Each structure stands twice: as structure tokens, then as C-alpha cells.
Structure 1
């Protein structure tokens, strides 16, 4: 059925007169470079926005024309250069999805001529109505090395307000399981951590845009945080490519290759990557038992400028991963071996048509197939677990954008139909680890469609120094429940010119659908056989309110400070329950939750030879019983039933500090260093300290404070050396060496409890990366 749906999407897109390859807050810049007589000039164009961490150089065609897609809203400095002509610069504001057309005239150069580019106006965006975190191309290229399967998650985790749980599960501002990744305008709302599915490699990205407040009404369903991923594009004509080889500790090896050909109005890009490591997931004990993993990825993208008013893009991507589940001490001694595997195939079509000078139409479509598996050998203990889940998804979105003087209107719809199939069963091999009433085996097979629709309208208004964004979204969710909701959202900002300060406040009403991983078994009455005392009801969507107030200030043209305070109130707060340490989790919901905190980031933009950032986050979270959903076995059943009142959210880490600074020793050599430190997450262990010693060992127990119920503070220091081996207009070769956790502290991320698994961070390690592009 999903193949038929794919053909229908492609056919529909070709019938319309136009598609887009962009996110909710991106625009297109159409430049024309001419001489004084108005004739087009072949030129090079540099585009810079320090606020958006954007810096790229392009080449126009022979007629002096240049199309630049997916520019995040903001202020940009444009510098045009032509042989025999004086350079010219301009400052442009990209604030609409309607293409901005601009002409730059170059004059014949005198004997001696120069132009000074002032980027001061691009450090602060005075028209941004809420806080947005952005990661640019240079930051992606020079990032600290990541273990396979988590390069994007590691980049996002560098931002204030974001935390890791075990196995790179991201938690924005304490929210669990509610991060969505938007890949070139297509939202992916399933869990993208390594144990749930392969990732899109960070090497394939041009930029990352991150929302935790002031979220456009265009986005819904998973609202903890929205991460927009913009894949690489090289606008230079001709054949271009990139090859990245890396490797290091834990027998880690990775490769990434990209080839792109741009001819006329066409661009074809092919990428492929592969990796392997002996540290794929976070182990549960320092010995890092049974933790080998391998990944693979292939993608093909074709884009065409059909005309000045039309843009078409088609992408195909296939990803897979195979890995082992790390053992505890007892499981390793017993000879346990559990394996997981994931695969995903996705086809997306995007079409954009300029209906008039001020009206733009978009049509996006996607079909996707994804599979998740788990198997256990006969020696597994205390349970043999098997899983064979898959889903087929079809997604369509249409939108109209209208520019009208000071306003940017956008309205649209989306429909997402996912056909779920779950196949899970277990056999208990050590009954002493469970209550005597716990059945020795369970077999569960069920299929069901998840049907979701939405409509939205939003408006961005500029009134002098004021900027207002207002939107309304309607969602309908039909799986085991049939619910709908209206979600108003608005944000407002005021720009104080003299002190260079932007003040902003936002409110988001959210309607979050439950995670679809194991949602059928988690909400099924069939598992009531596990305990007659546990009531399993369908897991309901979360509803809540987000509030944020903050400011951005520029100090001169090289230093920026951002600070926010926030509060989140939920009913039916989404979380997950992990089945022992199998890597299998089940969606649950608490009655309510309250999360609040503050965050700040100080960023240096090339102050002399120094650049970098320092950030701080403070998060407090509490959740209230009772619990709905999940698959609880053994003593966990009693803990769930006896739970009353409230307790700290599993991501209630009060203090988090992250820094990274780079010093440019010369034009070819740079050194960098930073650290990551956290005050420790809460835990609630069902056993005694002596039982923990036998299960996890003294090194782990030494990193726990049983009196406070907190993991002890973590600290990891890193350092990098970056060398430009060769650089010319046609080729660039770079080498980077990274040392991580140089202090070699045993950092416990999570400790096994009722609602979280056990996870140990990597020890001291070293990685090397060679990046060649042409």
C-alpha cells in the first residue's frame, strides 16, 4: 500500500506548478550581479550572518544570477566580487519565504581599491520574536568527534537546555521522548536515538536550527523540541565531492563520501557512509561488555530550478544499523547475547511555486518504511526478549505563504498516516527475579493505523522595533483514542537599538501525541495478565503550556549573550519505561508535570584569534503519579502501585555547564578545548546498595549518592588540534585530532531504576578525522 501511496505523491507533485525544500523559517535569496550598463557579470558572492552562524561563498552563473535556498530568517551581509571590478557589499534582511530579489552593481576597479565589510549588523537579529539556537556549517565541520549513530545528537546536546539520557536520547528542557527532527522540511516524529534507528550523519548537514519555545504553528505532535536539519548543498557549478575518514578508540572507524554535480538548473547529490565501533550504546558497567555496532547510510537527492518561480526536489535515503545490547556483570557471566537492528527507507518530494510576486505555494510528500528488531540467545537472563516491529508511513503537507507589507502570512495542512505492526514476546529464564504471579511468557502481536491530521495559520508582523508572531494550530489524533485540540501560540520581541538588546516573550499551547514505539502493547489490556493490580489504559496525548522570557544582547560586533527563563506545565506528561536493560522501551504518561529553569550562553565570534562559547543551564522538574501505560514486571509493579504524590523528573539535572573555545595559532593551525559538567540526575533504585555492588560493581556504586538519590557530578574535558593540510580554490584537506574525557572520570549518566536504564559514559578516548573536499 505504501508503494502505491508513493506513486500518488509523485504524480500529484508533477501535476502542480510548483515545490519547496525548506523549513518553517527559511527563505530564498535571488541575486543579480551586473555592471554599470546592467549586463550580468560572472562573480563570486560571500554571504555572512553571524547570528545564524552562516558563512558561505557562492559563484553566479555566466549571466550573474544566483539562487540561494534555505537561508534561516535573519540579517545577512552580502559581498560580491568580479574580476576587474570593485567589490560591493549590501546588508539584507531575510524575513519571508517569498524569494527576496536583489541587484548589486559592480563598477570598474580603479588602480587601487578595497571594500570593508561590516558584519556588526549580523551578530544580532532584531526581528527574531523568540529564542532560536543555530549551528552553522563551520561548527558542524569542526565539531568534537562522536561515536557512530549520534553525531547529530551530540551537536544538539551542546546547546543550553538540552540533556542526554542513556543511548543519546535527547531531552529538551527536561521533556522526555518529545523531540522531532525535521529533515529538509519533512518532520520525523519517532525516536531517532541509536537504539531506535539510524541517524542522518552530521557530515551531510549544512545547518541545524533548534526551537524549544516560540515554536511555529506549522510544527506539532512532538513538541519538547524541534530540530531542523538542513542537508548540504553546494551551489557552485560543476562536479564537487567530499571524503571523510575517521577512527579511534573502541576500534571505531567511520567513512563518509559525497559527490555532487551541478549543471544548468540541475543538482544531483549522492552520499554514502558507514561506521563500526565497540562502543555503540552506553554500557551498563565500565567493562563495556557486548557493545559492537555498525551502521550504513545511502542517499540520493535531485533538485531542479524549473523556472524562476518553480523549484523541485526529490530525495531517497536508506539507512540501517546492527548492534549488540550491553550486558550487566551477571548477564555477561551467564553468556547472554542480545542483538538489535534497525532499517529505514524514505522517499520525499518537495515542490515550490511562486504564484505571484507575493504569494508562494508549497507541496511536500514523504513515504517511509522502518523496522526495529531485537533477539536474545538461549543464555540470556533473567529474560529472553524478542521484538519485530515495523511501520509504514505516508505524509503530505501543503502550505501557502503571503507577503503583505509588514506581514508574513502562512496557512496550511498536513496529514500523516502510519500503519503500525508490533510483534513482541518474552520468556522468563530466572523466575527468582520476578514476583511469583508474573507469567513466565508473553506473546503479543497487533497492528493498527495511526491517523493524524492538522491545519495551521500563522502571521509574522513587524511594527518598528516590535516583532510579533501569532499562530493557531488544530490537531486530530486517532489511534487507540480519538482526540483533537486547538493550540494558540504567540511570541513578541522588542529591539532596543542603543544598548543592542532584544527582549522577547513567548507562549505555546501544545498537544503532543504519544510515542508510537510499542504504543499498542503499552496501552493494551492484554498485558493485564502480568498483574491483576495494574490498570493499563490507552496512553493519552500530552497537553500543556510553555512560557519563556528572555533577552539577547550584543557587545560590540564580536560578543553576544543570550539568557532565557522558562516554565512548562503538562497534563498526561509523556515519559517511557525501559524493559530491564534490553534497549526496548514503552511509552507511559504521568498525571501531570511541572518543569522550569533558566539558561544562558555567552558566545565569542572571532575576538582576535579566539572564538567559542560558554553555556549554563538550570532545570527543575517534578512529575505526579499515577502512571498510565508501560510494561512493568517484578518489583516494578509494586513501585508503580505504591507511588503517590510527586518525585523529580528523570531529567531533573539542576546545573549543567558546557564550554568550548578555539584559538587560531596560524592560518593553518588551530587548537580547541572545552568541558561538559553536570550536577547529576536523580535515581530511585529498587534494591540495596549491596545488590547494586553485585550487579554493577564498585566503580559504578562509588559514583552514586544513595542518601540524596542522585548520581554524583560528571565532568569530561576535551581538546582538539585542527590542521589545514592543503587549501586552494578547488580543494581543501583538513586533519583533526580529538581527545575526549581527558580527565578519565567514570561518568554515570543514568542509574538503573523504575523509569530509566543504566548508562555509563565513554572513558578517556582519542579520535582522528581526515576531511578532503574538492
Structure 2
């Protein structure tokens, strides 16, 4: 596995310089590209024409001007259906409907007609608004993200998903349940696959203001998506390509002393771009409190995200996503835990490179190596007996690294993608636990059923001799770690590597009103447990234009993988935990 990943990594710098500059170009990442030329009735180039793409549902809009040779290019376009509109003085308005569901640049030839001409101009398609694709999904634009009432500290992305997608139920502290399944969500951010839990109690989240768009897939995932597929979040981040210097600064204040600062800055031209996001927020109610009045519940979150784009030639594009974040918070107490001072810190570092090379106007190669690490530390009170009912400490690392390679081909009818993903997850866990409440696992009980909290006896056999009854619920597996009865801390140190290999192929076939998807995926999972599975993915959608209705159906076989958080510990203790040992 490691040798295969290293070999792929060595191919990347070679590929960066292998392409020659041609007329084709594309944006690196999950976003699409629309490019083409504006011509007059004689076929001559029309410079300075205004080209605008819009989507009436998401309110997404991007504009460009045709150059001296009549060419134009719009990049980093979220997957959706768009209306292309071209205007120029002395010519009629040109309109065309263009679906963007591939990373292969879509070519548009806008042949303008002279103003006042009686000639009828046939465009390639009407300006449809509905997406005729089999996958059931919700499109969330940057405009909608900015309008959402996201105010919860450290979980803006979770809140955005919960507010905009059907079939998703919110839980505490940023957890959510897509399609009734807990946390089985894969995030694909500009080609980087992230399937670890993203709630603020386990990790950190990319800031919501870093996204250009989110595509939330809840049924009919394509074959390129695996691991955890109850929901797939296909995310396109904001880019500075072709952007004049722009910046924003938002300050918010709310109840519980909640204070937030969000800043963005973007700059670039046709060959390079940079978009930076820096956020910070803090609150006196960082986690959901077990009491009506929160106490010992302060926390803060800091995130920084930077996307760097570079297009050295017409056939090549590169982007680099850099992300760092930190959550620090107190564990909220109840009224019977007034002396407890438990805290947690989670830090995340992520580096994701994307390289794309186009082989002509219809074929595109994408290579996406990535590295991501979560480091979570849980701190007990300085005095273990201030913690109740147990004192706990943790120090764990969760590291993902790997490479994803795709080859895409699109010709108008067929949208084909074949690819592979190789990934290794390295888990390192350190965990300590000790019982500090003598009533939590009492050896003996009184006739009234109340616990005997005396440090002796330590064996149920001695209860009757002291006038007590043996506790029928006594867990002998916890007795060695009961600090109130002479026990010692439970110490756990464990590590594991999980290797995952996947290959997939899919074809989206578009007819007049019918769209079909045919896909096949194979996953091999080799970790603490092992499994492999062939997964067919078949879907269809049919557009009834008269009523504006899309009928969708799909059959999907998926292999859901285990959670990586605390996986080594839970696998060692077994399904019943320490109490059953």
C-alpha cells in the first residue's frame, strides 16, 4: 500500500511539466469550466462581449468578457444547470442552457445575430432550470450559505447541512443523522475525500464561508463515492482565479457571551489566484449544556483556510488547499459535578493538492494527493477525585493520507469517469480511566437498594457477612479500575493502520428527456477487520417538461466502513466494553 502511494506521488511532479500549453483550460478541483468563443454571422471574433452564467434556483452568477480573439472562460463552477447569456452592442442576445456535471471543460460557440435581423437563431437547448440527473440532492450556493442563520460556535458546516437538506435530523453538538444513519457522511472537498466524523466533539470543521457551493447527495450516489454514503457532500471551495482584490469582515455578538469574527480575502488573475479565510469565535455555551443554565461550558474555535490556484498553461491547472483549525472547550458540568474541570482540545491540519491535465477538449486527468490529521486531547481535573463518576484522559491521533486519480471523458451524450483511490488511515490512541464515585459500581447494596459506599468489602462474597446483599449489577471487569476501592487507572495504548483501495467506473448517458447512470465500484478494506465488495450503482431520471417534474430512481449497493474515532480501543475491549471483561 505505502509503495503504491509513493509511486503515485512521484508521478505528480512529472505530470506537472508534461503538458504543453494549448487553447483548452480548466479549473482544478470539483468545479466545472465553461469556455468558448463569441463570433458574428461571418464567423469573425467578437471581442468585449459580456458572458454571464446564472442559475435561477441557487442564484449563482458568474461573468466574463470575451477577449480580443473572442474567447471566454468561466471556472470553478458548482455542478448544476446554467443559462449562458451573451450580449454585445449591435447584436441580439444569445442564450443557451448548459448542464455542468463534469470537470471536463464544456465548449460553447456563441454565434451572434445582428440586432433587428429577422433570422431565427436556433440554440442548442432551452433554458431549463431543473437538473435532470438521477441523484437526489440539494444544491447550496454561496449566496444561500451567507443568508443562513448560522450562529452555533464551531459547527457552521453542520448547521448549513441540517438547514438545507431534507432527510437530515440534527443532534447535539453538531451531530446529524442523514437518512436515519448516524454520521455516515463523506465530504469530497475539491477532490479530497474526508469520511471521519466532523462534529466539534471529535474534530474541527471547514468554515462555511470557505465554500463556493455544496452538493448534498442523499440518494443515488455515483460510483466514485464510497466509504460512507448515507450522505455525500460534494464541496467546491472559493477561488481567487480571475478575481479582483476583494475582502469581507463580519463581526457578530450574541447571548452567552458569544463573539465571532470572520474574514475573507481573494485576489488573482487568469493564471493564478488565492482565497484566504480566517475565522475565530468563542462562547460561554460552546457545547449543549445538560442544565438549563450552562456553566463550565466556555470554548473557542479558530480556523484558517487558504486555496492557491495556478494555471501554468492552457492544458494544466494546479490548486493547493491548506487548512488548520483548533477547538478548545470545557466539558459542561451538572449541578452534582461542581468541582469537575474536564477540558478537550482538537487540532486539525490538512494539505490537499489537485492537478488537472486536459488531453484535448473532451478528456481530463485529475490527480488529488492529500494528507489530513486530527489530534484530540482530553484533560481530566487536576485532582482525579474532583471528577465524577470517573476521571478520563485521552490523547489520540487520526491521520489520513492517500491519492485519488480520475480520468473523465465527456462528449455531450456520454459523461464517463473511471478512477481509483488509495488511502491509509493511521490511528494512535492513548486512554486512561478510573472510577471516582463509590456508588457507580458498588460491590454491596443495602436492603433498601442503596449502594454501600465503604471501601470494603471488595468481593461480593463478603457482603452477607457484613449484613449487606451482593450487588446483582456489579461489573467485575470495572473493579480493578475503581479508585475508591484501591484500584488503579486503566491504561490503554494502541495503534492500527487501515488500508483502503477502491476502483470505479461510471457513465452518465443523456438523451432528450432521459438520463441514465451506469456505475460499478470495488472496495477493499483491510484494517482491524477486513472486507471487500463489488457495488453496482444504477439510476435514471426523466424530465416531464409540461409539468416541470423530474422522476428519479436508483439501485445502489454500498459498503459502509467503521468509524475511525476510538476504533482501536473499542475493538480491544469488545462490544460490551470494560464492564463485560
TM-score (norm 1): 0.63
Is 1:501 the equivalent of 2:508? Answer: no
Deviations 1:373-420 (A, max 9, x none): 101102111111000000232120111112256222211110111111
Q: Which of 354, 358, 363 does residue 358 from structure 2 map onto? A: 354
Deviations 1:679-736 (A, max 9, x none): xxxxxxxxxxxxxxxxxxxxxxxxxxxxxxxxxxxxxxxxxxxxxxxxxxxxxxxxxx
Deviation at 1:474, TM superposition (A): 0.7
Deviation at 1:469, TM superposition (A): 0.7
Is 1:150 the equivalent of 2:155? Answer: yes
Q: Report SS of the residue matched to 2:439.
A: helix
Structure (1 or 2) with the greater strand fraction: 1
Q: Report SS of the residue matched to 1:68.
A: strand
Is 1:128 the equivalent of 2:133? Answer: yes
Q: Distance in 2 between matches of 1:27 and 1:152?
A: 22
Q: Which of 276, 285, 288 does residue 291 from structure 2 map onto? A: 285
Q: Which of 12, 34, 37 does residue 29 from structure 1 map onto? A: 34
Q: Distance in 1 between matches of 2:232 and 2:529?
A: 25
Deviation at 1:424, TM superposition (A): 0.5
Deviations 1:526-579 (A, max 9, x none): x3xxxxxxxx2xxxxxxxxxxxxxxxxxxxxxxxxxxxxxxxxxxxxxxxxxxx
RMSD: 2.8
What does residue 403 of structure 2 align with? 396
Deviation at 1:82, TM superposition (A): 4.6
What does residue 539 of structure 1 align with? none
Contact 1:59/1:235 (<8 A) preserved: no
Q: Which of 340, 343, 349 does residue 345 from structure 1 map onto? A: 349
Q: Which of 569, 572, 578 does residue 521 from structure 1 map onto? A: 569
Q: Distance in 1 between matches of 2:510 and 2:270?
A: 37
What does residue 451 of structure 2 align with? none
Deviation at 1:296, TM superposition (A): 1.0
| Equivalence map 1:258-407=2 (5 Å) | 258-332=264-338, 335-377=339-381, 378=383, 379-404=386-411, 406-407=413-414
Deviation at 1:300, TM superposition (A): 2.2
Contact 2:135/2:552 (<8 A) preserved: yes
Q: Report SS of the residue matched to 1:153.
A: helix
C-alpha change, 1:431 and 1:65, in structure 2 (3 Å) is farther
C-alpha change, 1:264 and 1:401, in structure 2 (3 Å) is closer
Q: Distance in 1 between matches of 2:137 and 2:94?
A: 30
What does residue 420 of structure 1 align with? 427
Contact 1:5/1:367 (<8 A) preserved: no
Deviation at 1:69, TM superposition (A): 3.1
Q: Distance in 2 between matches of 1:491 and 1:105?
A: 35
Q: Report SS of the residue matched to 2:220.
A: coil
What does residue 193 of structure 2 align with? 187
Q: Distance in 1 between matches of 2:262 and 2:71?
A: 32
Deviation at 1:632, TM superposition (A): 6.0
Contact 1:6/1:366 (<8 A) preserved: no
| Equivalence map 1:59-98=2 (5 Å) | 59-60=64-65, 62-63=67-68, 64-82=70-88, 87-98=93-104
Q: Which of 464, 476, 498 does residue 450 from structure 1 map onto? A: 498
C-alpha change, 1:523 and 1:354, in structure 2 (3 Å) is same
| Equivalence map 1:571-610=2 (5 Å) | none
Contact 2:96/2:127 (<8 A) preserved: no
Deviation at 1:319, TM superposition (A): 1.0
Q: Distance in 1 between matches of 2:126 and 2:260?
A: 39
Deviations 1:355-376 (A, max 9, x none): 2332211111101222011011
Contact 2:240/2:275 (<8 A) preserved: no
Contact 2:242/2:273 (<8 A) preserved: no
Q: Report SS of the residue matched to 1:408.
A: strand
Deviations 1:483-504 (A, max 9, x none): 2111111111222232222211
Q: Distance in 2 between matches of 1:144 and 1:403?
A: 39
Contact 2:240/2:274 (<8 A) preserved: no
Q: Distance in 2 between matches of 1:630 and 1:278?
A: 36
C-alpha change, 1:54 and 1:364, in structure 2 (3 Å) is farther
Deviation at 1:42, TM superposition (A): 3.2
Contact 1:310/1:352 (<8 A) preserved: yes
Contact 2:505/2:521 (<8 A) preserved: yes
C-alpha change, 1:408 and 1:120, in structure 2 (3 Å) is closer
How many residues are treated as equivalent by the alignment?
A: 519
Q: Which of 216, 224, 238 does residue 222 from structure 2 map onto? A: 216
Q: Distance in 2 between matches of 1:496 and 1:385?
A: 59
Q: Distance in 2 between matches of 1:304 and 1:129?
A: 34
Q: Distance in 2 between matches of 1:498 and 1:183?
A: 36
C-alpha change, 1:13 and 1:247, in structure 2 (3 Å) is farther
Q: Which of 230, 233, 236 does residue 227 from structure 1 map onto? A: 233
What does residue 538 of structure 2 align with? 490
C-alpha change, 1:304 and 1:42, in structure 2 (3 Å) is farther
Contact 1:20/1:350 (<8 A) preserved: no
Deviation at 1:513, TM superposition (A): 0.9
Deviation at 1:6, TM superposition (A): 10
Deviations 1:712-768 (A, max 9, x none): xxxxxxxxxxxxxxxxxxxxxxxxxxxxxxxxxxxxxxxxxxxxxxxxxxxxxxxxx
Is 1:465 the equivalent of 2:513? Answer: yes
C-alpha change, 1:493 and 1:6, in structure 2 (3 Å) is closer
Q: Report SS of the residue matched to 1:356.
A: coil
Q: Distance in 2 between matches of 1:233 and 1:516?
A: 31
Contact 1:49/1:122 (<8 A) preserved: no
What does residue 462 of structure 2 align with? none
Bigger-Rg structure (1/2): 2
Deviation at 1:338, TM superposition (A): 0.9
Is 1:15 the equivalent of 2:14? Answer: yes
C-alpha change, 1:5 and 1:388, in structure 2 (3 Å) is farther
Q: Distance in 1 between matches of 2:576 and 2:295?
A: 27
Runs of 5+ in structure 2 lacking a partner? 20-25, 117-122, 444-475, 483-488
What does residue 472 of structure 2 align with? none
Q: Report SS of the residue matched to 1:523.
A: helix
Q: Distance in 2 between matches of 1:390 and 1:291?
A: 24
Q: Distance in 2 between matches of 1:109 and 1:306?
A: 39
C-alpha change, 1:95 and 1:368, in structure 2 (3 Å) is closer
Contact 2:376/2:397 (<8 A) preserved: yes
Q: Report SS of the residue matched to 1:487.
A: strand
C-alpha change, 1:516 and 1:276, in structure 2 (3 Å) is same
Q: Report SS of the residue matched to 1:250.
A: helix
Is 1:174 the equivalent of 2:164? Answer: no
Contact 2:410/2:416 (<8 A) preserved: yes
Q: Distance in 2 between matches of 1:148 and 1:5?
A: 40
Runs of 5+ in structure 1 lacking a partner? 111-116, 528-535, 537-628, 642-774
Q: Report SS of the residue matched to 1:238.
A: coil
C-alpha change, 1:200 and 1:220, in structure 2 (3 Å) is same
